[in-house]
A and B are shown apart, each in its own frame.
Chain A
Amino acid sequence: MGGSKVDIKTSVQSARLTPKKIALYAAIAVFLVAAPVYFQSIGNVFMVRIFALVGIYVMLALGLNIVVGYAGLLDLGYVAFYGMGAYSGVLLGYVFQKLVGGADAPLAGLSYWALLPIAALMAALTGIALGTPVLRLRGDYLAIVTLGFGEIVRIALQNDIFGLTNGSAGLPRVGETIVTAAGQKWAFMHLSTTTFTFSKDLFWYVVVVALCLLTIFVIRRLDNSRLGRAWVAMREDEVAAAATGVNIMTTKLWAFSLGAMWGGIAGITYAYWVGFISPESFNFMESVLIVCMVVLGGMGSIPGSIVGAIIIAGLPEVIRGLAQSTALSRFLTPEQASRIGDYRYLIFGGLLVVMMAVRPQGILPSTRRARELTSEEPIIEEENTDLWEVEHKHDLPHKL
């Protein structure tokens, strides 16, 4: 099996900075800073907001990538952790507000920052609690169990479980507030000029981007760690990995709970960013879209997950934004523009099919996987195009 020959050199090489890479990173950095500032200065907060939204999905995709891309576990209920982070963040926020003396207390703004690690931990613990009994299931059995778990969480939230979640009406209730994070007011006061406002949306954009960078940093470290290599080994061949001393259960649990943790971080950030959460935001379709981001971008690839998230979360909004932009208003009536906006999911669905047909391994597949795919030995290609297939060939008796 070609995939198990993990080439240490490649990972070292990919970590080395070449001039081209430096240029690329610089370009991205400039874009990340300049674009929102530009949009903000022309008063187009909508785009800033879309950027932040995409950023939250980038976090989710990167988190799920650990589970799906690295460890090879198909999780169709990832929103459960996302919702867990959001709800625990908001509910604990009230507790925090009580502790510091009300929503208007000077320290109340710290609740987001203080709860960020706690929400992450809560989600990770949920991941462990769910993972322990079910992670020995394989492939699609695991997929359906996670799907079920996602639905269970959503329905429980919807039915006001333990009297905490306020059911379908969502949080905050009347009289409660989700206080915005400390720093937003400061930024507004000190970083605004006469022509440029450092808006709340811009502030959250900065927070989201910072969290994304942190996520990327941690996951890159993980990828090259002992654990990361264990994931790859396990994904390629569980039996062989176990034989070489990888503890399969622990390795899977690490992936599952780390993935869940990022779901939690994205969840609390989403809650404080939107300022309102309700169970509808954590439905099955959302889980599916996040899986799409990972696979479309290229499983196991960090840039892939990012690009996948950008395309899937951003594209429908961009189609809508384009249709309703003033440039096109010369050719379209508002009525027609709105109609095109309605077509966005049709176009998006078609594009998904086309993109997968053109690049089945994803847009930016990971180096390791790419080598597997373009291997010169045909047998290896046949075997490795499909790791789970290999797995299933061993295990699943197909009785038709």
Chain B
Amino acid sequence: MHFNVADVPQQLVNGLTLGGMYALIALGYTLVYGILLMINFAHSEMFMGGAYFGLLWLNILSKQSFFTGSAVGLVLLYAISILLAAIMTGVLGVLIERFAYRPLRHAPRLAPLISAIGVSLFLQNAVLLWVSSRSIPFPVKFPVYQYTLARDGSGSLAFTVLGASDKIVDKLGQGAHAIVQFSTLQIMIIVVTLILLFVLDTFISRTKLGKAMRATAQDRDTAGLMGVDINRIIAITFFIGPAMGGVAGIFSGMYYGNIKYNMGFIPGIKSFTAAVLGGIGNLRGAMLGGFVLGMAEALASGFISTAYKDVIAFVILILVLIFRPGGLLGESVVEKV
């Protein structure tokens, strides 16, 4: 146990970034669950797949000097790579649904769970055996700055931007120390995550397609009778969820600097937890759950114990569920008589 008040702002930023990634992945779990009532265990492999697709496109595109020459080119390089990788991951998700889950649409509910685990094992081992068993560095070709709020040598507040090799004492004088730092990557992750969450939320609640998705989630058969093309809706769900997961995978690659064939496992479990914490099937719940879980982990790790941070996260989850059995934003369950 170690409590240092000065660490609080920085730990909140750490938690926010981690939470953003959890939220992006949790959306995929919750979308699929909402429509098919199935835990898509292979979703963690979408996260992993997205990262590898992202790396593939980065490598292909950065051969063009247009993309590496200027600042605009660099922004485009990453934007296009992320977009293409997200689309590829989405397509992969649709294919998996088509071949592994659709035959099981009317099977007992746990059957697709097993298929999902099979898909997950298959994809992990495919990357392990056919790509590499090693960690592969994930390039960040643009300069990363630390946007720093600090106390300078004289103790007053100051703001400064630090490059990779800058030392804070060189910029702000002896005795200066950071209060809170945001790196370029953290800002990018948080901002893009929030934009994606907003877009998705608007899509689901405002558009006709979103309405069809909600209808399918509520009652698949009735929605079908009302003229909703169920297969199309499910395919779209299996495109959006994995695409979001794929984006999270690329962010993870950039943020941590490496990707590996089993990188999806832990974020997968955590995000599933986040989705349930928020109330599974509930989109905003997944976002909230992701951020809450990320925060809980960062704070537990920073102030209580790194070894027990997952224990603390799970204890919070269990307590929330005991007192709110439907999750944070899930409506309380009414016993139907």
Contacts and interface: CB of A to CB of B under 8 A. Distances in A.
Given A149-B314, A361-B108, A136 B325 contact: yes
State which size class the interface on A falls in. Answer: 35 or more
Interface residues of B, number: 69
A292 B117 contact: yes
Nearest to A339: B129
A368 B124 CA distance: 37
B311 A155 contact: yes
Contacts, number: 188
B37 A361 contact: no
A144 B272 contact: yes
B5 interface: no
Contacts of B106: 360, 381-382, 385-386
A68 B110 CA distance: 10
A295 interface: yes
A398 B311 contact: no
Given A295-B111, A395-B333, A143 B39 contact: yes
B83 interface: no
A151 B311 contact: yes
Nearest to B327: A141
Contacts of B121: 345-346, 348-349, 352
User: Would you call the interface of chain B mostly helix, strand, loop, or mixed?
Assistant: helix
B219 interface: yes
A235 to B, nearest CB: 11
Contacts of A361: 107-108, 111
A400 B108 contact: no
Interface stretch (B73-81, B84-92, B163-171, B276-284): B276-284
User: Would you call the interface of chain A mostly helix, strand, loop, or mixed?
Assistant: helix
Given A140-B276, A140-B280, A400-B34, A353 B317 contact: no
A398 B218 contact: yes
B197 interface: no
B1 interface: no
Contact of B333 (A138, A145, A360): A138
Task: Kindly name the residue among B114, B308, B315 whose own CB sees the greatest number of chain A CB atoms within 10 A.
Answer: B114
Contacts of B280: 140-141
A392 B218 CA distance: 10
B333 A352 contact: no
Contact of A356 (B115, B204, B213): B115
A105 to B, nearest CB: 37
Given A291-B113, A349-B122, A360 B107 contact: yes
A-B residue pairs, 6 tightest by C-beta: A352-B118, A360-B107, A349-B121, A148-B314, A349-B122, A346-B125
17 contacts: A291-B110, A291-B114, A343-B129, A345-B124, A349-B125, A353-B122, A357-B100, A360-B108, A386-B107, A386-B109, A395-B333, A395-B336, A397-B331, A399-B283, A400-B34, A400-B204, A400-B281
Interface of B: 31, 33-35, 37, 39, 41, 99-100, 103-104, 106-115, 117-126, 129, 204, 210, 213-214, 217-219, 221, 269, 272-273, 276, 280-283, 307-308, 310-311, 314-315, 317-318, 321-322, 325-327, 329-331, 333-337
